[in-house]
Structure 1
Amino acid sequence: MSSEQIDALLSYVTEYGMKVVLALLIFVAGKWIAGLVRKAVRRAMERSKVDATLVGFLSNIVFYLLMVAVVIAAVSQLGIQTTSFVAVLGAAGLAVGLALQGSLSNFASGVLIILFRPFKVGDFVEAGGVAGTIDEIGILATQMHTPDNKGMTVPNSQIMGGQIVNFNAFDTRRCDMSFGIGYQDDIDRAKAVLAEMVAADERCLKEPAPVIVVGGLGESSVDILCRPWVKASDYWGLYWDMQERVKKRFDAEGISIPFPQRDVHLYRAAE
């Protein structure tokens, strides 16, 4: 190998060796800075009491976006044209986005659920056409279980695309009950019995005051509405107890609970 070739090789190694070293320095320093930014974003969101699921997810998204910029900067230092590289990434991103548009819709809905918090883990809700207790709020889907303990995975877009009813949104609920009595029975006595039973039950709150009124005149009964306020956790316990206790108390008081009846008249056809 001639001296000219050796000089050319040394010049090539020196030139591109420096580029490689600079590219590595850019990558290492960029990764370190991206890590610092991720930690800063995480701390800022934690101080703002953002949901833990969203904290981890968004901080990682920020980190990887910065790393993409770092890699592009390092590659450009090697003399590689990054314009075509960015164009390829954009085209690939568009193709992936079109292929995963359903998943992206679920992802966007998941972010909205975590941001606006229409419910939290442990709440009983009606959402996405189903009802159940929330077990986990994921980025793409929400895990729930039904009262009879069946697990459900509901896409987040299905939840955000419809009405959400959160039965645990408030500490108290109004327990709506209706009891029918016969038209021949004493309405005032029936209302007094219900008021006495509500007042004697510690689960019924004094404020707001319970409502006990005639709610309608049915085909075979006078319907009396009984609407006490209770703690949300006591709702079903009180509701089920009252159904049995009211039946027994009405029987003891001689108040009838009618059921639909139909009179059938038979006519003998003339022979």
Structure 2
Amino acid sequence: MLDQLPPVLRDQIDVLLPQIMEGGLNLVTAILILILGLWFAGRCRAWTMRGLDRIPAFDDMLKSFFGTLVRYLIIMFTVLAVLAKFGVQTASLIAVLGAAGLAVGLALQGTLSNVAAGVMLLIFRPFRAGHFVEAGGVSGTVKALTLFTTELATPDNTQIIVPNSDVWGKPITNFSFHPIRRVEIIIGISYGDDIGKAIEIIRREIGADERCLKEPEPFIGVASLGDSSVNITTRVWTQTANFWPLRFDMTRRIKEAFDAGGITIPFPVRTIYTAKAE
């Protein structure tokens, strides 16, 4: 069939056909490399995290970070390999990307600052996964730290994504860092009640709760004289995990013990005088 074509056209086909076949083969090879590279990147992320699981006390937040980092590196090399199949000089491409990266970096200073902040958070470790913190103006339990963001979960299990630069650039309050915390409860009693009896009731309730630590020693004292009450401050130490349960239970138990012991908790009373009409 080709013999019936004009000689000029046959010559062009003879020249173009190998190029088309080579280009098609390169395209198929590039697609296979891309598919295998993406698959391998995902597998390497899983293998990295699985290997880090075998290291005792290795933080879950770091496992996710390093797994994601390995995945991105493999994807980057995969893209370079795909471009090389199309004849792109990867060495010069890397140089061009470096120059372009500098320009893009200047334009995306906010995004790069998130990456830098994420690295600083990983180095100095002000919190770990599972810690309850106040950071970037919000509070929640730390779930994950990525290159760009920190993921928190509020007590009602709402997801909050905070840019790393906001977390690193503002004060961080870590409520879970220390193993023990101090619970402070302020309760007012009437001026006519026996202060010593009220303090003894509180001391008895503290002693009956095993969650209250003996050391540091609990403190009970008169904090202030209010408008309608004598305010007694109670401070006890407990394990961090018991902070809120103990605070809620102790407040209720002291109130019930005061009721049983005849100690009253006053509430503001207003006396209104009205002018008598003439």
CA distance in 2, matches of 1:263, 1:138: 60
Q: Does the 8 A contact of 2:65 with 2:145 survive in 1?
A: no
CA RMSD for the aligned pairs?
3.1
TM-score by length of 1: 0.70
Query: How far apart are 1:89 and its partner, in Å?
Result: 3.6
CA distance in 2, matches of 1:143, 1:85: 35
Q: In structure 2, give the amino acid aligned to 1:101.
A: Q
Q: CA 1:265–1:236 in 2, change beyond 3 Å: closer, same or farther?
A: same
1:10-89 matched pairs, under 5 angstroms: 51-53=62-64, 55=66, 88-89=96-97
Q: In structure 2, give the amino acid aligned to 1:193.
A: I
- From 123, 131, 139, the equivalent of 1:123 is 131
Does the alignment pair 1:249 with 2:262?
no
Q: Does the 8 A contact of 1:54 with 1:111 survive in 2?
A: no
Does the alignment pair 1:171 with 2:186?
no
**Structure 1: 5+ residue stretches without partners:** 1-38, 72-79
Which secondary structure does the structure 2 equivalent of 1:175 belong to?
strand
Residue of structure 1 in register with 2:10 after alignment: none
Residue of structure 2 in register with 1:186 after alignment: 194
CA distance in 1, matches of 2:163, 2:215: 40
Query: How far apart are 1:85 and its partner, in Å?
Result: 6.8
Residue of structure 1 in register with 2:157 after alignment: 149
Residue of structure 2 in register with 1:31 after alignment: none
Q: In structure 2, give the amino acid aligned to 1:216.
A: S
Which secondary structure does the structure 2 equivalent of 1:176 belong to?
strand
Residue of structure 2 in register with 1:198 after alignment: 206
Does the alignment pair 1:94 with 2:86?
no
Q: Does the 8 A contact of 1:182 with 1:257 survive in 2?
A: yes
CA distance in 1, matches of 2:161, 2:71: 25
Does the alignment pair 1:209 with 2:200?
no
Q: Does the 8 A contact of 2:64 with 2:144 survive in 1?
A: no
Q: CA 1:86–1:137 in 2, change beyond 3 Å: closer, same or farther?
A: closer
- From 227, 245, 256, the equivalent of 2:235 is 227
Query: How far apart are 1:172 and its partner, in Å?
Result: 0.5
Residue of structure 1 in register with 2:268 after alignment: 260
Query: How far apart are 1:57 and its partner, in Å?
Result: 6.5
Which secondary structure does the structure 1 equivalent of 2:147 belong to?
coil
Q: CA 1:85–1:238 in 2, change beyond 3 Å: closer, same or farther?
A: closer
Residue of structure 2 in register with 1:237 after alignment: 245
Equivalent pairs counted in the alignment come to 216
Which secondary structure does the structure 1 equivalent of 2:255 belong to?
helix
**Structure 2: 5+ residue stretches without partners:** 1-47, 82-88
CA distance in 2, matches of 1:152, 1:60: 24
Which secondary structure does the structure 2 equivalent of 1:228 belong to?
strand
CA distance in 1, matches of 2:98, 2:243: 54
CA distance in 2, matches of 1:215, 1:186: 15
Query: How far apart are 1:186 and its partner, in Å?
Result: 0.7
Q: Does the 8 A contact of 1:215 with 1:224 survive in 2?
A: yes
Q: In structure 1, give the amino acid aligned to 2:211.
A: R
Identity %: 47
CA distance in 1, matches of 2:263, 2:114: 55
Query: How far apart are 1:98 and its partner, in Å?
Result: 2.6
**4+ runs deviating over 3 angstroms:** 49-65, 84-91
Q: In structure 1, give the amino acid aligned to 2:226.
A: G
CA distance in 2, matches of 1:85, 1:143: 35
